[in-house]
Structure 1
């Protein structure tokens, strides 16, 4: 109730900043019209209620210039409630000169005195990860706790590093305490790691028993750096006034807060909390459901209201729902006109039940499809129809630590033969290489990595239009053997934390979906310039080209058959998947949530315009050429499920790959037959 304008139950866009304005270099600019030139006092109604014990720093400029030195670093301390921050110091408020007429006020996020502290901490993370890796090369990932590895004799430089970094971190803690004026939770990881390093250097025979704790503490230091770099500050309004002017109170009174709570409670009985933004009360409005998150929904609603609605005159009501609500709502006849961010398998799943609209009926479909590859469209095709359009696309890329590869004297692999050649060198140094497999009973990881081998062997998932599984062909069996041998013979780990192992250097080479790139940019800033993303290893063809085929996953948009206005729904879908809309959505999400939220759009024209570095975009574009879509067929869910089961049986029980896969193919074909019979489709034996 303290912000202006206020509403008892609606979310008002009545403040600016917060977590959307927290990274160094981000700025907000205001145009201020002064009736008279002169000296003004500036009071900001704001709050910094996220980073307890630390300041948020801003640089203030007026008409492009810093008015005086103190304005280069203005500190806003932690406050759980709204405060009036009077810009000044212990001697009194600052006075800022404004010319008559329009003035430009800019506030930019800066680190201030924290910059040097964080820079030193980043260097420590890199040095300590290097020390961890050197110890790992000797003791391995599962050291003998009773063995004396004589690390103080074999690695005297590491012992010196541990002692030196202990002193560095202790000094950082003292500098941070001096900066904040208090000793709190922000000092904890610095003190804990400093003590551990000192103790490890003093008692080197205990190091092998403390490797996990050492790795976790270094990772925690990296997380602390990321969290401390954030400088959130939220602003309600700014007051420019004479020095002696009376300033209204910032926070709401007790009685106003009590009135708000009572009003909000009463409104909760009638408020529709699934709707996002304003609701159009007209029969002509189309209903769109989104299943991602509230941040994405609010950005999309804002784009709809200021772009799509004015351009087309079509009203859109956007609702945020759980993904598992769509099916029962559709069956009950209360579903939406358009569903966003549905899984790749859903459009065909709904189409087989006559619940999704075939988009080939729209004459301008061809113009829309020019911005997508055939691979991204394949999962939504069924018996000549197209029942969805792609929103997002993810596929495997190769990530490698350039610094470690150079240390080991190996080059990043171009082919699988290259990879097999360097695996012994990497594993001899007690490091790992891996390819993702299913985690937490999700079979997609297995499907994704197996399909890479399958397509590079020239195989396919299904025969005909999905009438039966093609995993009993020689190409599929050979692909399954090569894939499972990575884990059985080469001992690739099945379950692992890709980000942490890549960061510490424990896993200097891995294949992973390219969202890992965005995470590493934020998660491991100390590795900037020390790692690369490249296309996958492949197979050399007769003409000398390297076949890097793989598959992709993602999300789609589809139109439900129950829609009463197909033309309006189609216009919305065209607008949503267009390059301009996808680029704007991607940029809005990145400005809201940071680089880790970079939108993995399936639109190839939009992908060119998103803020990828040229080298990394070229690597993605090269791999995208080799991406093949996995077709969705009735009963196809048994393919990923039993492929995962076949892998587990080979990996855990040592079963024969050929016989195991053939056994499960029979089970897959039985389910495909059952589903095709249910939907009246032709069977393998010619019946229905």
Structure 2
């Protein structure tokens, strides 16, 4: 029987945020008998706050007069007036709002520029929002960024093997001018703002960093001259090496790199030389690099580049090219650089495919290249719009049939949402049209690999349309999971932000010169042969290429980390102590036990898995660090619970290196629109679940992201939060079957058996992005991923302490794990004093801050150093508010002890969880069985290591576990 509904809006304003950052186009219910078209199901786009809508049709109101330059900021009537280096400035610090009053001659649309500098040592760009006369003119004004400038040192540093290494960038200390522009750089020109005649209040609110303002410029929009071909004569040739002559960039992570490629200059077959701008670093819209180009004679020139662009198959990467801060003409705005999977020399051409001309002044010219996505702005907005509409339909289907649908239930969705398949057909057609539009950038090919996700999404929609009675059962293919239509669209949006451009060199040249050519087949072959022969020699940072007189340190990290570590060691530790250190990249940390048995172990090993020190230490191969001078001072910088896994018989055999913190992630936009405060306890989470699930959403608990075995990080927290322990005073018997531990397991398993939290989530990252799981508990790796690989939800998510359990005193216990990597010293080192001095130096807060800052400024924001040193953590270049949450959660770290038999405790706890949640087994039965198996294995291991003989304890093994009950 058909179900009738009154016509009503089913996506309320409360849910608009969930379905697209508060900017959804709601779907409306219609009566089953109604004859609704796709247009009647989708209301007018409510994303009116976008700049494109704001500026549309305002051309006649654009200001065209002379620039208004305010050099004396005291005239701005701001309460944030200050002085800096003897000059009047406006200074706005973090979490402050500074209001500037500007006077303009007429009511019109203007661009606004600030001459600015960022104060202090923070390496993150300053983030702020801006209002005009108390209102936010458009969406983009909610998130503006002002970047640092970065320069390289004059000399390229060498490692001890004679290889050039990436230099640490230095802050540019001069004032910079920047106009207000979209932080996502979807426009190549500044944003225009309507100001009223007379005084206008510009309020800047800093959310990250600070800003010094020296002057303000208010002017007309930048005009880009039309292209007029110039006459090129002469024989001048000006070549610039992109890697070695880089002058200034706005992102510290933009860096030179080395490649054994004969097409690049300089080139060496046996040494690493920096010879190109790394495309993995020069890729984000807005990334800008500057060069100083010396020109002997003014005139017109052609422009060529030797570049590689393999980020977008069958599609160009666009760059803005400016000379002395201006576009020479319109063709250098958003110029397309087509796909090339190897470096090739290409000269820029005009629309007639003739060599493009550029005028250069005599003397020094500033030449800049900036990554742009402005030409595909409308495509990106269309993809966002499609995503919002599809998410809206997905929600309505969930409301209609529930989260799970019986596959034998026959539901004709069209009876309940008339016109739904016409709507879906319209979506598929729009995707097809968009794909065809993108093909115009590559007319020679019938495909556009960069937009293949769009084609896959379209085909999936058409598959659903072709099987209308399967739509209810297959609704997850619309907007839930890693293979849904919206997942493909979301991944496409992410890929559009990857515009990697590798540049070896560029050159300006005139008619009567021969430009460089790519290497010949013979040159490439000969270069490959020489490189192959060199691989048989000694390799850098290899255990075979060391000096036995030096301290031997093996490092379980990639080369980028090792190079920075070696440089820090040479510049500080060795210069201060005289102790020379050889770093070697560890081929396999599990071979440390074998290396020790063979007498080939290093003095120190860094970055090993936090569980490994027990396996080596219990066999007597490690030094007890707690007996060494200064240990207490070193240990005081770590969360006490981080030392537990390396504690053996009261001794401590490792120092924590990094910390894998756990926090709660939540979509701020969704929870606020639903009227749900941040949950503080597990009880709060349970109370939220019915409302979340009614709307097709849910909560993520870490065990859902652990296929197979559920490790301690997922199973332990609720046990500890319930007052349970895994062992008693000794480890001889587990306390897994104590009342408190059983209560913790009950709370854990009931999340899935009673409260319907999903027990298997292949990608919390994906479902957090699409909003189907807007809240959950996860770790550092998720934090890094969301922060750096989810641009579509930037500024609408946050983190909080994990929800815990209120104890009898009214305090909320939030215990979690935190172990990641550790550092160890081998017992047979003949250099114990030097080794301990090195370990103390490396663990020191100053060293950790220096390493973390260098790593992140050199390689980018995704290279976040999650140090275990809490004192150092406060100084690292992470978001201020997030650091405080992480530090607060670190106080609740209580790692599980690693003791004889604990590996089976982890496995049996996982088995019990699976038996209860998946097989419906009785909780006490499962836990009792697990406890018996654990106790049996513990006795066997105690016998193996000599703590028990013939079933009799000869030496008690004390439990190193933190006492949760104290």
TM-score by length of 1: 0.88
Question: Is 1:189 aligned to 2:453, yes or no?
Answer: yes
Match of 1:348 in 2: 614
Whole-Å Cα distance in 2 between the matches of residues 319 and 517 of structure 1?
A: 27
Partner of residue 220 from structure 1, selected from 488, 491, 510: 488
Pairing partner for 2:340 from 79, 88, 100: 79
Indicate if the aligned counterparts of 2:638 and 2:869 stay in contact, CA closer than 8 A: yes
- 2:882 and 2:396 map into 1 onto residues whose CA distance is 29
Q: How big is the shift at 1:232?
A: 0.8
1:234 aligns with 2:495: no
Match of 1:455 among 710, 715, 720: 720
1:233-260 CA deviation, whole Å, 9 max, x = no partner?
A: 11223445555333332x2211122222
Tell me how far apart the structure 2 counterparts of residues 589 and 213 of structure 1 sit (CA, whole Å).
40
Q: Is the 8 A contact 2:555 2:583 kept in 1?
A: no
For 1:95 and 1:296, the matched residues in 2 are separated by 42
Change (3 A) 1:339 1:62: farther
In structure 2, relative to structure 1, the CA distance for the partners of 1:572 and 1:442 (3 Å cut) is farther
Q: CA separation in 2, counterparts of 1:362 and 1:88?
A: 69
- 2:882 corresponds to which residue? 616
Matched-pair contact (CA < 8 Å) for 2:613–2:646: yes
| Structure 1 Cα separation of the partners of residues 422 and 670 of structure 2 | 21
| Greater mean alpha carbon deviation, residues 622-631 or residues 668-677 | 668-677
Corresponding position: 1:489 with 2:750 = no
Contact 2:323 2:367 in 1 (8 A): yes
Instruction: Establish whether residue 290 from structure 1 lines up as the match of residue 562 from structure 2.
Output: no
Rounded to whole Å, the distance in 1 between the matches of 2:835 and 2:507 is: 45
Give the one of 15, 23, 26 matched to 2:276.
15
Q: Do residues 518 (structure 1) and 784 (structure 2) align?
A: yes
Helix, strand or coil at the partner of 2:660: strand
SS in 2 for 1:470: coil
Q: What pairs up with 1:68-467 in 2 under 5 angstroms?
A: 68-87=329-348, 89=350, 90-97=353-360, 100=363, 104-155=366-417, 162-181=424-443, 182-184=445-447, 185-194=449-458, 196-197=460-461, 200=464, 204-215=468-479, 216=483, 217-241=485-509, 244-249=512-517, 251-272=518-539, 275=542, 281-297=546-562, 300-301=565-566, 304=569, 313=578, 314-405=580-671, 410-437=676-703, 443=709, 445-464=710-729, 466-467=731-732
CA distance in 1 between partners of 2:896 and 2:463 (Å): 54
Q: Judge conservation of contact 2:317–2:501 (CA < 8 Å) in 1.
A: yes
Structure 2: state its 5+ residue gaps. 1-261, 956-966
Larger radius of gyration: 2
Distance 1:489 1:666 in 2: 27
Please say if residues 661 and 886 of structure 2, whose CA atoms lie closer than 8 Å, have aligned partners that are also in contact.
no
Judging changes above 3 Å, is the alpha-carbon distance between structure 1 residues 574 and 107 closer, same or farther for their aligned structure 2 residues?
farther
Change in Cα spacing, 1:64 to 1:601, as seen in structure 2 (3 Å) is farther
2:26 aligned residue: none
Aligned length: 683
Structure 1 residue 86, shift from structure 2 partner: 3.2
- Once residues 465 and 845 of structure 2 are traced to their aligned partners in structure 1, the CA distance between those partners, rounded to angstroms, is 56
Name the CA shift for 1:440/1:396 in 2 (closer, same or farther; >3 Å): closer
Query: Is the 2:391–2:478 Cα contact (8 Å) retained in structure 1?
Result: no
Distance 1:21 1:537, change over 3 A: same
Q: Name the SS for the 1:549 alignment partner.
A: coil
Deviation at 1:57, TM superposition (A): 2.5
Q: Is the 8 A contact 1:113 1:179 kept in 2?
A: no
Q: Cα deviation per residue 1:611-665 (whole Å; 9 max; x = unaligned)?
A: 4333333332332222223222233222212211222233344333223323322
Q: Deviations over 1:507-529 (max 9, x none)?
A: 33322224223223344433334
Change (3 A) 1:514 1:141: farther
Secondary structure of 1:340's partner? strand
Aligned-partner Cα distance in 1 for 2:337–2:602: 45
The Cα of 1:303 is off from its aligned counterpart by 5.2
Displacement, 1:231?
1.0
Taking the TM superposition and a 5 Å limit, the aligned residue runs for 1:584-623 are 585-586=851-852, 595-623=861-889
CA contact (8 A) 1:377 1:390 kept: yes
Aligned-partner Cα distance in 2 for 1:135–1:454: 38
Q: CA deviation at 1:22?
A: 0.9
Q: Which moved more, 1:418-427 or 1:586-595?
A: 586-595
Relative distance call for 1:52 and 1:301 in structure 2 (3 A) is farther
1:478 to 743, 758, 771: 743
What is the CA distance between 1:157 and its match in structure 2? 8.7
* RMSD of aligned residue pairs (Cα, Å): 3.4
Aligned partners of 1:20 and 1:592 also within 8 Å: no
Mean Cα deviation higher: 346-355 or 607-616: 607-616
Higher helix proportion (structure 1 or 2): 1
The verdict on how the C-alpha distance between 1:54 and 1:668 changes in structure 2, with shifts beyond 3 A counting, is same
Segment drifting more, 671-680 vs 390-399? 671-680
Per-residue displacement from partner, 1:286-321 (whole Å, max 9, x unpaired)?
333333445544554565566655665523232241
Counterpart contact for 1:347–1:558, Cα < 8 Å: yes
What is the alpha-carbon distance in structure 1 between the residues aligned to residue 617 and residue 276 of structure 2?
44
